[in-house]
Amino acid sequence: AQNSLRETPKLVLDVIAKSLDRDIFTVSNQEVTAEDINLTHIRVSQNGSDSPVLKDHLVSDPEAPVVAFVERDANIQAAAKALVSARFSLQGKAPYAPDVVLVNEWVKKDLLRALVQQSTEFLANAPNKSKGPKSALLRDAEKDDSVHVALSGSNGVILDVENRQSGLLRHKVGETTLIVHAVTSMDDAIDASRDIGFLAVAYVFTNPAMAKYLCQFADTAVSYINQIPTKLLYSPIAPVGHPPQAGTNNIYQQDFFSHLKPKYLTKSATDEKLNKIMSTASSKELSALDQDAIKRLPEMKRKLKGTQLGFFEQGIVTSLVFILTTVVSSTGVLGYYGYRYLRS
C-alpha cells in the first residue's frame, strides 16, 4: 500500500488489521515476491501482472475495454439513463463503466439527445470541478477531425466519434467522458467490438432474441441485457477466466480460495458387491458376474433423421404449398369459366 489518496485509506487498513488474525493479514509497503512468501499461495493481482500467470493466481486486466450496444428497438431513455449513471458516477473511474457506446445509426440522434438530457439532470446537483489541465483523451479528441462534441462541461463530456479507425474507440476511459460511435447493423457492431478487443463486459440494450445473437458472437467475458448493475461499478475488473458470479455479481467466490477435500462415509453398492465376490470367490458367482458384464445393453431410441424440417426446408415446403394452392385455384377458376363458355 502506498501513501496516496488514491490508495486504500489508512483507517480502512487499521480496521481490517484489528479484525483479522495477525498471522493471516499484513500490509506491505513494497512488492511481495513468491520467494518472500515461500509457501503455496494464491496471488490476487487487480492491476494486472507482467510475470507469467500461474494456475491458482487470480489476475485481472484493468485495461480490458467495456462496450455498450444500443440497437434500434432499445428503450432509448432507459439506456441513456443507465449509460450516463454508470459513466459519470464515481468521477468516471469505475472500471466497469462503458468506455464506448456502439449505437445503431438509425437511433444515434435519439440516443445523443437522450444522453444530453440525462447528463443535464444527473449532473445538475454535482459540484463543479475546478478547471485543470486537459486529459490525454480530450487532447486526442481535439486533434481528431471525426469527433463531434455533443456535450461539454467541467463535470462531463459526450463525444460522437465517426471514424472507425480512431484511437479513441480503443482508449480505456478513466474520467467523465462518454464516447459514442454509430454502426450500420448488429453484425457491424460485433465487428467493431472485436476491433476494440476482448471485452470485460458487454451491456446490450435490445430485445432478448437479438441480445442472444449479439452476445453469442461478441468476444466478451460476460454480458448484461438492458441493465448495468450498480454493484459492478464498485468492483475491480474480474480475474481473467472468472466472470462475475450470476445473481450476486461478486467477482471473487469462496471456491477460488479453497481446495476440495472430499470425505466418504458410506460404501458404494458396487464396492459392497465386489467385496462379497472377493471374499467368496466361487466359480458360480464369478460366472454370474461375467455374464452380467457381457450382457447386451438396451438399445437407445434415437430420433430418425429427416423427421424434422429445418429452417430452409420449411421455407421450401411453404413456397411449394403456396404455388400448388395458386395453381389448383387458378385451374379451378379457369375450368369453371371454360365450362360456362362451352355451355353458352
What pLDDT digit, counting tens, does each position of 290-344 carry? 787 788 888 877 766 555 666 667 778 788 888 888 888 888 778 777 777 777 6
Question: What is the pLDDT at residue 288?
Answer: 75
Model confidence at 154, in pLDDT bands (50, 70, 90)?
Answer: confident
Q: How many domains does the chain have?
A: 1
CA nearest to 278, candidates 294, 267, 268, 289: 289
Q: Is residue 205 part of a domain?
A: yes
pLDDT, one tens digit per residue, over 63-84 is 999 999 999 999 999 999 999 9
Q: What is the mean pLDDT of residues 205-218?
A: 94
Residue 251: inside a domain: no
- Report the pLDDT value the prediction gives residue 344, as an integer from 0 to 100: 66
Record the pTM.
Answer: 0.73
Q: What is the mean pLDDT of residues 270-290?
A: 74
| Sign of the dihedral through C-alpha 162, 164, 168, 169 | positive
Q: What's the mean pLDDT in 37-47?
A: 81
Q: Which of 128-137, 165-174, 252-261, 327-336 has the lowest mean pLDDT?
A: 128-137
Decide if 293 is inside a domain: no
For residue 132, the model assigns a pLDDT of: 66
DSSP 72-137: TTS-HHHHHHHHHHHHHGGGGT-TTS-SEEEEEGGGHHHHHHHHHHHHHHHTTTSPPPPP-PPPHH
Instruction: Write down the pLDDT at residue 129.
Output: 66
Calculate mean pLDDT across residues 19-27: 80
90: domain CATH number is 3.40.309.10
Is 86 in contact with 234 (CB distance < 8 Å)?
A: no
Predicted confidence band of residue 2 (pLDDT cuts 50, 70, 90) = very low
Calculate the average pLDDT of the chain.
Answer: 85
Nearest to 161 by CA among 186, 134, 143, 136: 143
What are the tens digits of pLDDT across the range 254-278?
Answer: 888 888 888 988 888 888 877 877 7
Is 157 in contact with 177 (CB distance < 8 Å)?
Answer: yes
Contact between 230 and 96 (Cβ < 8 Å): no
In a domain, 112, yes or no: yes
Packing angle between helix 76-88 and helix 108-122, nearest 10 degrees? 50
Whether 101 maps to a domain, the answer reads yes
**Cα–Cα separations (whole angstroms), residue 30 to 5, 26, 33:** 17, 12, 10
For residues 137 and 101, give the distance between their C-alpha atoms in angstroms, rounded to a whole number: 16
- Judged against a pLDDT cut of 90, whether residue 45 lies above it is answered with no
Q: Does 82 map to a domain? A: yes
220 bridge partner residues: 199
Please give the average per-residue pLDDT across 100-122, as a whole number.
93
pLDDT of residue 95 exceeding 80: yes
- Tell me, yes or no, whether 224 lies in a domain: yes
Look at strands 157-161 and 223-225 and give their pairing: unpaired
- State pLDDT tens for residues 102-111: 999 999 999 9
Note the helical H segments in 130-185. Answer: 136-143
Phi-psi region of 135 (alpha: psi -120 to 50; beta: other; left: phi over 0): beta
Domain range holding 150?
A: 66-235
Residue 77 within a domain: yes
Q: What backbone torsions phi and psi does residue 317 show, to the nearest 5 degrees? A: -60, -45
